[in-house]
Structure 1
Amino acid sequence: MASTLKVLEQCQVSPPKDSVPTTSLPLTFLDIPWLVLIQPVQRLYFYEFPHPSHHFTQTLLPSIKHTLSLTLQNFFPLSGNLTCPPPPSMPYIHYVANMSSVKFTITESAANFIHLIGNHPRHVQEFDHLVPHLPDFSNLDSNSSDTTTFLLPILALQATIFPNSGLCISIAYRHVVDGRTANHFMKCWASVYKSGGDLSCIHESPPIYDRDLIKTPKDYEPILFNQYIGLRSTWKNLDMAKSSSIFIDNFRTTFVLGRENIQSLKQLIMTQCKNCNEPTPKHLSKFVVTCGFVWVCLMKALHASETGVTSMKDDDLLRLGFAADIRSLFQNPVPITYFGNCLSACYVADKKREIMAECGIAKAVKALEAAIFELKNRDLEGLKRMVPFRGELVVAESSVAIAGSPKLGVYGTDFGWGRAKKVEVVHFVDSTVFSLAESRDEEDGIEVGLALPRTTMDAFTSLFEQGLKNFC
């Protein structure tokens, strides 16, 4: 599956010399629980670029690196390390002046650019060579975790040129920041480059590092401490040196729901509620409609392809988890440009027989709607309890999580090469996750990304298309 790849350059990019002092940034009670997802988030931005490789390396690359440096001056923690000392100390982000930097790799690929940016099934391994590598725990002594201070780079970047056809800018980052923060960084870098070094876009909406905006409640500190100890005990057994897809024979496919599709699905849900004597939902957002529809199709596809779902009893629970932005839920709302995590993990669960039933989509949507309503009406105590994904959601075979969000607007990341031809989230390689993004071409539409075995993908595609055909 591997494509011919040539490494053209590897470099370290830092903020301009003496522009930022050595700084430590503590993690909050909204950051530490997400360290359970220690493997980096990976997102690929594909752009049309009908030029030879030397045009990029000789003409554009110097400016790309320079504007990256300028952007990192304002997002300097991304240049630092996630520093995890032995207890009783707690983890923090540490930036060292004139030393901390971001690894930036420039490569050339012989892969088929048009094939990679399609919506059709593409093997998950076809994307491996486009993903920047972040150092991990693989070189640590297995007995060192109790006394060693782990230093983990937070960010890595890569630019891959497809001669005379395209360009891929890719990002890998630790979950010490959420998707909104990472997206803020990427859009600022793109804007600074496109404008030839103008920093006004950052000055107008700079990242905010004030940790007083999200204070860790005193009674929650022992819980965080125990979470951290538990996380450290598992990290020494991790080996992420190689791509997680190396032994996975799955295919990545994108499904698009347009505005009309979503409106028709809303009508389907109302009809199912009526037929099953269920109360009708009060607010059918495109998020709950899309997630409910995809979740049911995925569970039925897994059942049809004889996975672990097949062996479940009818009363066993199926679970769907998602991360909700809670900036607006604090008494003093947290600014949109806050740097870090401002997420609460939510999950819904229902019995297998309910999700698989004729009115399964309506059941799923109502469960999602109820979870979101509950979240919006929780106080700080409730939010604290919902921050980490509960254990059963992380490990249960019947669990699915959602990555990304259409609210991020990833297609608005414009370096000046035109609108991205495709944006892919690739850190998941199996049926435990599906991704969401706004549609590139369908106004008010949503793109759904899945990675499944061929037989399961065929079953999902049939269910997805049949659902749209029957009701749309």
Structure 2
Amino acid sequence: MAMLYSTTTQVLQTCKVSPPPFASGDTTNILPCTFFDLIFMHFHPVQRVFFYDFPHSSHHFISSEFPSLKHSLSLTLSRFYPLAGCLLMQADGKPELVFSAGDSVAVTIAVSSDDFHELSSDLAREMSRFHVLLPKLVEKEVLAIQVTIFPNSGISIGTTMHHGVGDGATYTHFMKTWSAVHRFGELTAFSMVLPPFQDRSKVRDDRGLERLFMEELEGFNGGDGLDKWDLHGCNDVVLATFLFGRERVEKMKKKTLSNCSVSALACGYMWSCLVKTRKDMSKKMVHFGFVTGCRARIEPALPTNYFGNCLGICCVEAERSQVVDEERLVAAEAIWEVIKGLEKGVMEGADKWVSNVYKYASERAMTVAGSPKLGVYEVEFGWGKPKKVDIVSIERTGAISLTESRDGDDGIEAGLALPRHEMEEFVACFLNGFMEEI
């Protein structure tokens, strides 16, 4: 039975933050969307919440921090101005990211009476408690931000970003720039962090993927085909975090001959536990999906600071009976084999990327959001590093979220959203497997 919380979240104000006027005056800038962007155009927005300890009053934060937080955001948008723009459709149906002078990002400030320390823990927490910490996107806008104060305990920064405008690397590049500007000032921060690279002409489409993906997305009738992943609105959905520390990972590595990466081990274990939890014996084969960064793997290569999506879709298939075996490492080895196969060329099978996304959604396959390589715990505004970072939108995308360990021990944190009754079975499966290793 769901626990009821007598908490309130009160919105104090919503303001618009624009980048400073360009030196050239009123301008309109257009970024055409590439085939990489089209893959994620109908995905639900990506929503993250950063929790920071801040043991001061609401008045202290509003008077001393919030004005400079808005100012540093404005300065950051001078480099990341497309995030203040809108996604608009051309006559041929192709989307493009358009920024015009005066465009802005909506920033909401609120106060919550919820338990900050419990909400920022690893425990199974009701999804409804996160929903009030996140802003909604107004039609065509691509980024919204909400700052929530938990008086005398902490603050959260919740962001909602359209996946069609950028991947995790683009998002964390923006957040690290903003936090550096707020912490060190504009001149120092801009000397520390590269500006975004926005030249879309460098993305070659020798395979005609843009045309193919446009046709396929139209055939899939927008985003309807992704709904089987979506738990939003279901009763009693909870979000929990599972830790893979260095010691645990080393024990797992000894059980495999494939020298799997830490990410493959964590993903394989989570996949195995989910398949076992769902008990769907009608499926002989089960599936797992993840994305891989393509910036350095395509020709010509794109710089690490490229602004936009640049991810390839990777698919894993294995026999259910093997994935749920007692050792639970067959799943990790299957994932690792696909990762190693990327050495042959990341664009191999790219024409199937969109169709595979919809196929895996129809099967409710587990997928991955985020990556420990993104370094979300490096987003520090001057209040100390984040106490916790959660990707809340995994509730809608059938994914586990991956981040680096907040303790800096080379481990991984994996987030998962499930109905409470499934989560209880998943936790039991997860812990039982770990107990077998001791």
1:24 equivalent to 2:13? Answer no
State the number of aligned residues. Answer: 429
Distance apart, 1:198 and its partner CA: 3.1
Partners of 2:235 and 2:396 lie apart in 1 by 8
> Which one of the candidate residues 242, 259, 264 is aligned to 1:255?
242
Give ranges in structure 1 of 5+ residues lacking alignment: 137-151, 271-279, 304-308
Which 4+ stretches in 1 moved above 4 angstroms?
235-239
1:289 equivalent to 2:265? Answer yes
Corresponding letter in the other structure for 1:363: V
TM-score, length of structure 2 as denominator length: 0.92
Aligned to 1:5: 9
Aligned to 1:378: 345
Aligned to 1:74: 79
* Superposition map of 1:255-404 within 5 A: 255-268=242-255, 270=256, 280-281=257-258, 283-303=259-279, 309-310=280-281, 312-313=282-283, 315=284, 317-359=285-327, 361-378=328-345, 380=347, 382-386=349-353, 389-397=356-364, 399-404=365-370
Maintained 8 Å contact 2:52/2:386? yes
Maintained 8 Å contact 2:286/2:320? yes
Deviations 1:124-149 (A, max 9, x none): 1111100111124xxxxxxxxxxxxx
Deviations 1:29-49 (A, max 9, x none): 111111131x21000000001
> Which one of the candidate residues 99, 111, 123 is aligned to 1:120?
123
Distance apart, 1:362 and its partner CA: 2.9
Partners of 2:32 and 2:397 lie apart in 1 by 34
Maintained 8 Å contact 1:431/1:452? no
Aligned to 1:406: 372
Corresponding letter in the other structure for 1:127: F
Maintained 8 Å contact 1:375/1:383? no
Maintained 8 Å contact 1:33/1:227? no
Maintained 8 Å contact 1:345/1:388? no
Partners of 2:77 and 2:33 lie apart in 1 by 19
Relative to structure 1, is the Cα distance of residues 459 and 333 closer, same or farther in structure 2, using a 3 angstrom cutoff?
A: same
1:432 equivalent to 2:398? Answer yes
Maintained 8 Å contact 2:213/2:354? no
Deviations 1:269-303 (A, max 9, x none): x3xxxxxxxxx31x311011111111101211222
Aligned to 1:146: none
Maintained 8 Å contact 2:226/2:362? no
SS of 1:358's equivalent in the other structure is coil
Distance apart, 1:380 and its partner CA: 4.1
1:216 equivalent to 2:194? Answer no
Aligned to 1:49: 54
Corresponding letter in the other structure for 1:7: V
Deviations 1:295-323 (A, max 9, x none): 101211222xxxxx25x24x2x2111111
SS of 1:106's equivalent in the other structure is strand
Partners of 1:204 and 1:356 lie apart in 2 by 44
Partners of 2:234 and 2:351 lie apart in 1 by 37
Maintained 8 Å contact 1:90/1:228? no
Aligned to 1:196: 185
Distance apart, 1:384 and its partner CA: 4.7
Maintained 8 Å contact 2:226/2:358? no
Query: Structure 1 stretch 206-215 or stretch 221-230: which is displaced more?
Result: 221-230
Maintained 8 Å contact 2:312/2:347? no
Corresponding letter in the other structure for 1:168: S
Relative to structure 1, is the Cα distance of residues 221 and 405 closer, same or farther in structure 2, using a 3 angstrom cutoff?
A: closer
Maintained 8 Å contact 1:250/1:430? no
Aligned to 1:174: 162
CA RMSD of aligned residues (A): 2.3
Partners of 2:435 and 2:190 lie apart in 1 by 44
